[in-house]
Amino acid sequence: MSVLKKTLTLLVGNTDDLSYLRLPKGKIDTKKMSERQLIQRESEIGRQLFGPVPKGHQREFFCLDESTCIWYESYKDKDGKQVSSTTRYEIQGDKVLKAQDGPRYSYLEGAELDNLLQAVRLYYERVMRNVYGKEPKTIHQSQV
């Protein structure tokens, strides 16, 4: 019997079921992961923020750096041709620049801006909890 188990037996009496000591499902040890691997984990969460990914589509959504988010979508069209698009959202001061293949540039506004901001908030909350095991900070409007 290990020292840990003996100690637990003294403290809680029953050590038959120690499952509560395990990390919750979905959380993994990220301490030895590279930036690429961490971003992949984040993107697993990010891609779900905009509803179900259609069958045959590949979607990625992640925060690349301190001011950039990336949306990547890939799928085959009706002719079987592979179609992919990458959209970069870049925060510039109090605006968000949307840069797409082409290149096409525009500043987000209206519902599109609102939706992106809401998505990033959700991304932050879920990534902090499920990738990094941290409680997200609550940010209120009045703190601005």
Partner 1 sequence: MSEQPVQSNQPHPAEGTRFDNDNVIDFRMARDGLASQSLIEAQRQVERSYGLHSTEKYAEVESEVVQVHRLLIEINRIRQERMAG
CB of residue 75 to partner 1, shortest distance in Å: 27
User: Phi and psi at residue 77, in whole multiples of 5°?
Assistant: -80, -175
The binding site for partner 1 (CB under 8 A) comprises: 30-35, 38-39, 42, 63, 65-69, 91, 93-96, 109, 113, 117, 120-121, 123-124, 127-128, 132, 134, 137, 139-144
What distances in angstroms separate CA 57 from CA 16, 66, 73, 77, one per listed residue? 45, 27, 7, 10
CB of residue 102 to partner 1, shortest distance in Å: 24
Q: How far apart are CA 28 and CA 3, in angstroms?
A: 25
72 or 132, CB closer to partner 1?
132
Q: How far apart are CA 15 and CA 8, in angstroms?
A: 7
8 or 122, CB closer to partner 1?
122
